Structure 1
């Protein structure tokens, strides 16, 4: 919202007419004080918001680092290799044949 010079002059004249020229300095001081208080309150709110949003983010970052460290040591292939090499399966059953290799396989029956 921008005010032109003419609009600002109109507002200044209205203030002088309403309050008189002797109260003008006091009004300006009060207005400046109010603006400073508002800026301070906005800054306080910004700082509080940054504090509140910073804590969960840093917590999440720490958790991500923990997961990354745990993932570095994890090797699923090591467990598979150990299981396959050290413990070969010995089965009493004959291996199952594929339907294409099994001559006695009749396939699905349609009616």
Structure 2
């Protein structure tokens, strides 16, 4: 809402006529206090709303993290892949026990 200079002057003249010039400072003071109280109340409401909306979000995030961790802990594909890798590994031979080996072995 934008007011032109003429409209603001008309409002100022109407206030002076209605309340008189003696009461203007007190009206301005009261109006300022009212605006400050309204701003404080708005901040309180805003803080409460942010607190209330933050808690469920953080709880949901924690639950999602728990589910992700449980899914990572139980991965049947990873278990079968590990078994397959172990099954495909050649048997380990202790070269010191094997006399057939002709490579560089110190005895």
Normalising by the residue count of structure 2, what TM-score does the alignment of the two structures yield?
Answer: 0.70
Match of 1:14 in 2: 14
Number of matched pairs: 81
Q: Take 2:69 and 2:31, find their aligned partners in 1: how far apart are those partners?
A: 57
Tell me how large the CA RMSD over aligned residues is.
Answer: 1.7
More helix by share: 2
Q: What's the offset of the Cα at 1:75?
A: 1.9
Match of 2:68 in 1: 68
For structure 1, list consecutive stretches of 5 or more residues without a partner in the other structure: 83-111
Q: Take 1:40 and 1:66, find their aligned partners in 2: how far apart are those partners?
A: 39
Match of 1:102 in 2: none
For structure 2, list consecutive stretches of 5 or more residues without a partner in the other structure: 84-107
Q: Take 1:20 and 1:35, find their aligned partners in 2: how far apart are those partners?
A: 22
1:24 has 2:29 as partner: no
1:55 has 2:59 as partner: no
Q: Deviations over 1:56-105 (max 9, x none)?
A: 001001101101110111123347xx8xxxxxxxxxxxxxxxxxxxxxxx
Q: Take 2:16 and 2:67, find their aligned partners in 1: how far apart are those partners?
A: 68
Q: What's the offset of the Cα at 1:22?
A: 0.4
Normalising by the residue count of structure 1, what TM-score does the alignment of the two structures yield?
Answer: 0.68
Match of 2:104 in 1: none
Q: What's the offset of the Cα at 1:14?
A: 0.2
